[in-house]
């Protein structure tokens, strides 16, 4: 299978690329909800982050046909057709859309063997859209779903958009499409089999991987491809968030004992991590580093086998975040910027645009992957994960033995696990994870009581934000990041009855806070003998509802007044 060409374009930058929709493709079929959702997403990005690009998705085409001068659309037809149909409406407000609709006097999209559709769209491209849709009688053969989409877009702009010209310009200049052009030697049957089995498009983090690996450079092609294979291997290992990283490497030199290397990296406080990366030698997997290679590889990974430490848990755990979210947390630390931590913004937040300096691009890309690997090791060692425990999930910090510290270290792990579990079920990972990762990255630690105390201080900062700062949790997180060592609430935390006695409207956080305070008290020498079983079995869970102990509507019993009924002690 030949290598594909990967490019990106906006309606503004598409140049002279023409598309045809083959006979085997289904008719255009987007419904109102799909079109409206796309418009809502575009409008939201335009309103909140007008400088950001909007990634609409990826399309796959064949190479250009020499006879028709067009690329046949293999995948993503519905998406690109919708964007193109939007242009018929948007050109009323931003005339450059005409260049996207038509190229060299012919329609950019050609519907093979669908003459009625083509004639309708040719007429529409040459006239005022409102007059045409009102007065022209449509032929029976015209696909009504295309007409519906045009009407939906037209009505949406008239009803919801005030700055129609700027909104139209934004979509024209900022809507990004990733184009994967397959070579003529590609086995399309194999491609369709892969896509059908997978059932989804390329994920954003896979596109990001291809972008970043493409920035790895060396003048010597053989050296370049070996570097790219090495960094692709590290990326793939880091991406398997529900598996320990040392079990996630493909095709490593069998002489390297990954688990021992990871232990040494942690024990030496990451001073030898670069030396380990230099040891990684991978065969030349040139095609696996492209978007097509990612598709072929899909989800069929051969994981290396190794002798597992009997004290460790099985692989059946769940990470607190998925890989796209983890990438965003890592990039926030790497770039030292305030960035969006929303998965949908992955490709606009982590860009890695090419410059004229290939060497500097390569250094930047490789530095990011080095940092990604470092933080993933930290994440595995110090951040809780969820293990299945019967019908519920048990949050624990992993224990990878790196020394002979024994019971005291186990006790410290338990304490850190409990406070982090409490933070996790009560506070979005979007807020708490970046500060914790920065603390651990800047001060690689053996888990001890200082780590637990720091986590308690972090939680108190969020508690203060809930009480006095209108729940500006992201602002609190950024403040902590700016002074990671000396963290403390902005003022004294005073909790009174107006905060707690709200019945079912009481903030769930305060129940979790009370549970942690009780658990911590029961672990002291004064209480540990009495509550040993409770301490051992206690675990934090995400509870969605608050219930009254004494019911609101008791049968054949006295009804309490609302002040007593909604008291914190009755919840």
Per residue in 316-355, pLDDT tens? 688 999 999 999 999 999 999 988 898 888 888 898 877 8
- 22-30 long-range contacts, CB within 8 A, separation 24+: 22/72, 22/73, 22/74, 22/112, 23/112, 23/113, 25/73, 25/77, 27/143, 27/145, 28/77, 28/78, 28/81, 28/143, 28/145, 28/146, 28/149, 29/78, 29/145, 30/78, 30/81, 30/82, 30/145, 30/149
The predicted structure's pLDDT at residue 7: 83
Q: Mean per-residue pLDDT for 209-233? A: 86
pLDDT digits 0-9 by tens, 520-571: 888 888 887 888 887 778 888 887 788 889 888 888 778 888 888 989 998 8
The predicted structure's pLDDT at residue 302: 30
pTM: 0.74
Residue with tokens 């008719």: 27
pLDDT for residue 36 is more than 90:
yes
pLDDT band, very low/low/confident/very high, at 154 (cuts 50, 70, 90): very high
Residue with tokens 């919801």: 160
The predicted structure's pLDDT at residue 168: 95
The predicted structure's pLDDT at residue 306: 35
The predicted structure's pLDDT at residue 196: 57
pLDDT for residue 255 is more than 70:
no
Distance CA(120)–CA(515), nearest Å, equals: 67
95-99, 199-203, 287-291 — most confident range: 95-99
pLDDT band, very low/low/confident/very high, at 222 (cuts 50, 70, 90): confident
pLDDT band, very low/low/confident/very high, at 435 (cuts 50, 70, 90): very high
- 280 against 315, higher pLDDT: 280
pLDDT band, very low/low/confident/very high, at 3 (cuts 50, 70, 90): low
Q: Mean per-residue pLDDT for 466-491? A: 85
Enumerate the H helices of 91-143 as residue ranges. Answer: 97-101, 115-125, 129-135
Tokens of 554: 């008791």
The predicted structure's pLDDT at residue 294: 54
Cβ 332 vs Cβ 399: under 8 Å: no
Q: Mean per-residue pLDDT for 50-79? A: 88
pLDDT band, very low/low/confident/very high, at 114 (cuts 50, 70, 90): confident
- 338 against 1, higher pLDDT: 338
Q: Mean per-residue pLDDT for 401-405? A: 51
- 431 against 144, higher pLDDT: 431
- As a whole-number percent, the residues of the chain with pLDDT over 90 amount to 30
Distance CA(262)–CA(288), nearest Å, equals: 26
In the DSSP assignment, the letter for residue 57 is: E
Lowest mean pLDDT among 10-19, 112-121, 330-339, 405-414: 405-414
pLDDT for residue 21 is more than 70:
yes
The predicted structure's pLDDT at residue 301: 40
Other beta carbons within 10 angstroms of residue 20's beta carbon come to 19
Q: What angle do CA 510, 513, 514 make, to 5 degrees?
A: 90
The predicted structure's pLDDT at residue 325: 95
Cβ 445 vs Cβ 437: under 8 Å: no
The per-residue pLDDT of the chain, averaged, comes to 82
pLDDT for residue 369 is more than 90:
yes
The predicted structure's pLDDT at residue 1: 47
Coil vs helix vs strand at 410: helix
Lowest mean pLDDT among 47-61, 79-93, 379-393, 489-503: 379-393
pLDDT for residue 137 is more than 70:
no
Please choose, from the candidates 413, 425, 335, 348, the residue with its C-alpha nearest in 3D space to the C-alpha of residue 375: 335
Q: Mean per-residue pLDDT for 212-240? A: 87
The predicted structure's pLDDT at residue 534: 79
Please choose, from the candidates 401, 395, 412, the residue with its C-alpha nearest in 3D space to the C-alpha of residue 451: 412
What sign has the CA pseudo-torsion 387, 437, 485, 429? negative
pLDDT band, very low/low/confident/very high, at 188 (cuts 50, 70, 90): low
pLDDT for residue 515 is more than 50:
yes
Q: Mean per-residue pLDDT for 434-438? A: 95
Coil vs helix vs strand at 42: helix
pLDDT for residue 75 is more than 50:
yes
Angle between helices 164-174 and 32-48 (to 10 degrees): 100
């Amino acid at each position: 299978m030949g290598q594909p060409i990967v490019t990106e374009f906006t309606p503004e930058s598409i140049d002279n690329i023409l598309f045809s929709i083959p006979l085997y493709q289904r008719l255009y079929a987007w419904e109102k909800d799909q079109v409206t959702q796309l418009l809502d997403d575009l409008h939201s990005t335009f309103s909140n982050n007008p400088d950001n690009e909007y990634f609409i998705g990826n399309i796959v085409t064949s190479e250009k046909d020499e006879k028709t001068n067009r690329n046949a659309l293999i995948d993503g037809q519905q998406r690109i057709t919708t964007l193109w149909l939007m242009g018929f409406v948007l050109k009323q407000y931003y005339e450059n859309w005409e260049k996207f609709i038509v190229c060299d006097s012919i329609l950019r999209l050609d519907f093979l063997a669908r003459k009625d559709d083509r004639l309708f769209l040719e007429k529409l491209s040459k006239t005022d859209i409102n007059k045409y849709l009102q007065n022209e009688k449509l032929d029976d053969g015209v696909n009504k779903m295309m007409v519906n989409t045009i009407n939906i877009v037209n009505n949406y702009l008239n009803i919801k958009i005030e700055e129609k010209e700027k909104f139209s310009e934004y979509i024209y200049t900022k809507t990004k499409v990733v184009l994967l052009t397959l070579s003529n030697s590609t086995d399309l049957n194999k491609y369709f089999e892969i896509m059908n089995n997978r059932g989804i498009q390329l994920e954003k983090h896979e596109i990001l991987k291809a972008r970043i690996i493409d920035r790895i450079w060396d003048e010597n092609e053989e050296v370049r491809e070996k570097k790219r294979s090495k960094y692709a291997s590290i990326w793939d290992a880091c991406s398997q968030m529900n598996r320990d990283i040392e079990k996630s490497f493909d095709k490593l030199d069998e002489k390297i004992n990954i688990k021992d290397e990871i232990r040494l990296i942690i024990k030496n406080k990451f001073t030898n991590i670069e030396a380990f990366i230099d040891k990684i030698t991978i065969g030349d997997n040139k095609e696996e580093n492209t978007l097509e290679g990612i598709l072929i590889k899909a989800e069929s990974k051969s994981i290396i086998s190794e002798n597992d430490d009997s004290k460790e848990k099985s692989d059946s755990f769940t990470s607190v975040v998925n890989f796209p979210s983890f990438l965003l947390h890592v990039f926030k630390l790497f770039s030292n910027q305030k960035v969006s931590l929303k998965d949908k913004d992955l490709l606009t937040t982590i860009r890695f645009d090419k410059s004229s300096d290939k060497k500097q691009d390569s250094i930047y890309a490789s530095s990011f992957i080095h940092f990604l690997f470092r933080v993933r090791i930290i994440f595995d060692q110090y951040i809780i994960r969820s293990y299945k425990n019967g019908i519920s999930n048990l949050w624990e910090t992993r224990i990878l033995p790196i020394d002979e510290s024994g019971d005291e270290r186990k006790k410290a792990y338990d304490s850190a696990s409990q406070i982090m579990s409490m933070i996790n079920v009560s506070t979005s990972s979007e807020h708490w994870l970046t500060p914790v990762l920065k603390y651990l990255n800047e001060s690689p630690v053996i888990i001890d009581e200082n780590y637990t105390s720091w986590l308690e201080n972090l939680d108190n900062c969020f508690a203060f934000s809930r009480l006095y700062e209108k729940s500006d949790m992201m602002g609190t997180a950024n403040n902590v990041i700016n002074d990671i060592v000396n963290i403390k609430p902005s003022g004294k935390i005073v909790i009174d009855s107006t905060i707690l006695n709200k019945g079912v409207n009481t903030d769930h956080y305060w129940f979790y806070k009370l549970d942690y305070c009780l658990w911590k008290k029961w672990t002291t020498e004064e209480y540990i003998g009495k509550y040993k079983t409770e301490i051992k079995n206690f675990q934090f869970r995400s509870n969605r509802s608050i219930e009254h102990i004494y019911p609101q509507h008791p049968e054949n019993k006295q009804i309490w007044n609302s002040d007593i009924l909604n008291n914190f002690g009755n919840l």
